[in-house]
Amino acid sequence: MEAALSAPGPLVALVGNPNCGKTALFNILTGSRQKVANYAGVTVERKEGSLTTPSGRKVRILDLPGAYSLDPLTPDEQVTVDVLLGRRAGEVPPDFVICVTDATNLRQNLRLVLSLKRLGLPMVIALNMTDIARRKGIVIDADKLAAEFGVPVVETVGVKTSGAAALVGMLNQLKAPAQPHRAAQWRTPTAADIAHDQNEVRRILGVVGGGRLDGVTLDDRIDAVVLHPVAGPLILGIILFLVFQAVFAWAQAPMDAIKAGVGLVGEWVNHALPASLLKDLLVNGVLAGVGSVLVFLPQILILFFFILSLEESGYLPRAAFLLDRMMGSVGLSGRAFIPLLSSFACAIPGIMATRTIQNPRDRLRTIMIAPLMTCSARLPVYALIIGAFIPRRQVWGGLQLQGLVLFALYLAGIVSAMAVAYLLGRRGARFHSLMLELPAYHWPNLRNLAIGLWQRVEIFLSRVGTIILSLMVILWALSSFPAPPAGATGPAIQYSIAGHLGAWLSVIFAPIGFNWQISIALVPGLAAREVAVGALGTVYALSAGGSDVSGALTPLIAQSWSLPTALSLLAWYVFAPQCLSTLATVKRETNSWRYPIIMAGYLFGLAYAGSWITYHMASALTAS
């Protein structure tokens, strides 16, 4: 685990139920002063930030994983309990606790407040989402709530910058205790404790208010439509369909700007440096490789803008319920939806999110199909090939053909995952209904969206500046040495180490239509899928006699590949496990090499079979 922030001052832990707005409040309090790592020995995320109060006092803020109670049922809840009790090695117990509660669902949240009160740590209750509660006509007497628990209560609105002013004012008065506070003796709640807390919650609600209102609310009316067994899936399909349309329709202008910028840098380097190995490295290794990947950043950001917006609005948990029954029909646990949904961003956090699935067999099945979800790293490959071979034209009443093809690729991954899940677990599988609290609907907060998108930019640029750049330099070296013999004809790269490797691999991949350039690009692409685009840029730059192709890779492959080859490569990336980090994560999560080996074997087998079928079917159709 990375070292925690070393800012002086008291350590304040944010604790609360999932979907209570705790992370939004954490973002307001800490802004960009955040450090994210994993807790030692587990894959649970650790977030710590710092806050400077108006008086200049430094306060450290620790965002603990969401928990419904202190009787842990998941690894996330176990980490929260261990940190609060001071039982996690290398972690200092917090000096104070801020229990974040959802004012629109106080009944559910008060059980955790009662548990924290028994724990004995100094506590403040943050009554969050009070603006939404008032709009719903829910009135909570904060003074009476403070009197019931004997701790301060402040009202907060986690989606507004000014919504934490009262909480910051309270933190301004905090001082770190002379000695670390030790939690009271803790024991696992008994059935009598649980029964007492349910009765106590009802009593407190009768005193302070905050119970759910009778009658139909606006959220209920919306849910009647979006959760309808017929209209709900149709709405979900339309939303996802429009997202993929926007990925191409909105991204073209910023992509053109990035291409132009990379091209200008390439021209400057060409004119500023004399012919040398350094110039060749910069033009054909760095710019051709890195520039070919960087151009797809707008499409990735557009995709994540929609994903984050849907999550912030409260719609994604509804989508989980819509797909719950369908997933149960193929032998998956209802809890598999959230990990699989996370895998659309990246399979690694998706696989780690399977920790919430209690049944080991259900968890393993979900892990084994998570890489079939179309992660964001595939998007640069898809966008490159679609941009080169699928015309930019409108079909069916103004819909973009390129967006339709991208939607089909995502759908192919989902259908394949469901088919594999059916084969893996249908016999003897038991359906476990998904139990999930539905948050209130609200407009996405622009600040939280901006923070989420900036984090994606940082992740992408860090990969471009580290993994991709390093591999492009290595690939350039392998593609440049040894030099061709005197009097040799043809591109110099064919005589290099990479050229010989590509010629050997092309024998294996020739039946599915891959040439030697594609075969070379697949090798560094094992480190990360998007690396293949940069590798193609480097290989084609060297194949073209040193010409700068960083901004012209799309038309270049359009001229040199056939349509069956392009479609075959798309099919390959639907299935192929072109990500060693994913396989390493599977090994870590299962504590065995058996499952990553099985995963790599069956996914490479599906990739080759799918590409072979696609290539020969496309060849037959284009020949007729």
At 268-308, the pLDDT tens digits run 998 899 988 898 889 888 888 888 888 888 888 888 898 88
Q: Give 51-102 pLDDT, tens digit per residue.
A: 888 888 889 999 998 888 888 877 788 889 999 988 888 888 898 999 999 9
Residue 548 has pLDDT above 60, yes or no: no
Q: Sorting pLDDT into bands at 50, 70 and 90, what band is 437?
A: low
Q: Sorting pLDDT into bands at 50, 70 and 90, what band is 416?
A: very high
Of 85-89, 115-119, 228-232, 436-440, where does mean pLDDT reach its minimum? 436-440
d(CA 209, CA 207): 6
pLDDT of residue 605: 96
Asked if 15 and 153 count as a contact pair (C-beta separation under 8 A), the reply is no
Residue 528 has pLDDT above 90, yes or no: no
What is the token pair recorded at 413?
A: 């991954």
Q: Give 15-56 pLDDT, tens digit per residue.
A: 999 878 888 899 888 876 777 666 666 657 788 999 888 888
- Please name the residues in contact with 82: beta carbons below 8 A apart, sequence gap of 6 or more: 88, 91
Residue 3 has pLDDT above 50, yes or no: no
Q: Report the relative pairing of strands 153-155 and 123-128 from DSSP bridges.
A: parallel
Which residue did the predictor score with more confidence, 499 or 7? 499
Provide the 8-state DSSP code for 176.
Answer: -
d(CA 205, CA 210): 6
Domains contained in the chain, CATH given? 11-214 (3.40.50.300), 274-286+456-623 (no CATH)
pLDDT of residue 470: 86
pLDDT of residue 210: 72
The residue whose two tokens read 């309808």 is 228
Asked if 524 and 535 count as a contact pair (C-beta separation under 8 A), the reply is yes
pLDDT of residue 2: 37
Average pLDDT over residues 118-145: 87
- Mean pLDDT estimate for the chain: 84
**Residue whose C-alpha is closest to residue 70's, from 101, 32, 111:** 111
d(CA 546, CA 569): 25
Average pLDDT over residues 325-329: 76
Count Cα atoms within 13 angstroms, Cβ side, for 154: 19
The SS3 of residue 67 is: coil
**Pure H helices in 86-136:** 106-119, 130-135
Tell me how far apart the 2 most distant CA atoms of the chain are, in Å: 94
Residue 512 has pLDDT above 80, yes or no: yes
Q: Give 255-265 pLDDT, tens digit per residue.
A: 889 988 988 99
d(CA 81, CA 480): 56
d(CA 382, CA 187): 53
What is the token pair recorded at 166?
A: 């009262």
Average pLDDT over residues 485-501: 83
pLDDT of residue 235: 93
Task: Name the CA dihedral angle for 512, 518, 523, 525, rounded to a multiple of 10 degrees.
Answer: -100
Query: Roughly how many angstroms between the first and final C-alpha of the chain, as a whole number?
Result: 59
pLDDT of residue 460: 82
The residue whose two tokens read 């192929």 is 576
| CA separation, residue 301 to residues 147, 380, 449, 452, 455 (Å) | 47, 12, 11, 10, 10
Of 104-113, 131-140, 200-209, 473-482, where does mean pLDDT reach its minimum? 131-140
d(CA 130, CA 123): 19
The answer to pTM > 0.85 is: no
For CA atoms 572, 576, 580, 581, give the dihedral sign: positive
Q: Sorting pLDDT into bands at 50, 70 and 90, what band is 4?
A: very low
Residue 180 has pLDDT above 70, yes or no: no
d(CA 285, CA 524): 13
Q: Sorting pLDDT into bands at 50, 70 and 90, what band is 176?
A: low
d(CA 5, CA 318): 36
| CA separation, residue 192 to residues 113, 116, 188, 197, 379 (Å) | 17, 17, 11, 9, 53
d(CA 616, CA 512): 8
Q: Give 592-606 pLDDT, tens digit per residue.
A: 899 999 999 999 999
Percentage of residues in the chain having pLDDT higher than 70: 90
pLDDT of residue 292: 81
Q: Is the bond leading into 482 cis (omega within 30 degrees of zero)?
A: yes
pLDDT of residue 372: 95
Angle at 560 between CA 558 and CA 564, to 5 degrees: 75
What is the token pair recorded at 327?
A: 């997933």
The SS3 of residue 34 is: strand
pLDDT of residue 153: 94
Residue 501 has pLDDT above 80, yes or no: yes
Average pLDDT over residues 124-144: 88
Of 298-307, 420-429, 454-463, 543-552, where does mean pLDDT reach its minimum? 543-552
Q: Give 573-597 pLDDT, tens digit per residue.
A: 999 998 888 898 898 888 889 999 9
For CA atoms 499, 505, 507, 511, give the dihedral sign: negative
How far from the centroid of its chain's Cα atoms is residue 561's Cα?
33
The residue whose two tokens read 């594609």 is 518
Provide the 8-state DSSP code for 283.
Answer: I
What is the token pair recorded at 251?
A: 């991204």
Specify the length of the chain in residues: 624
Asked if 391 and 401 count as a contact pair (C-beta separation under 8 A), the reply is yes
What is the token pair recorded at 563?
A: 């349509």
C-alpha gyration radius of the chain: 27
pLDDT of residue 544: 67
Average pLDDT over residues 472-484: 87
- Taking phi over 0 as left and psi of -120 to 50 as alpha, with beta for the rest, 398 belongs to left
The SS3 of residue 560 is: helix
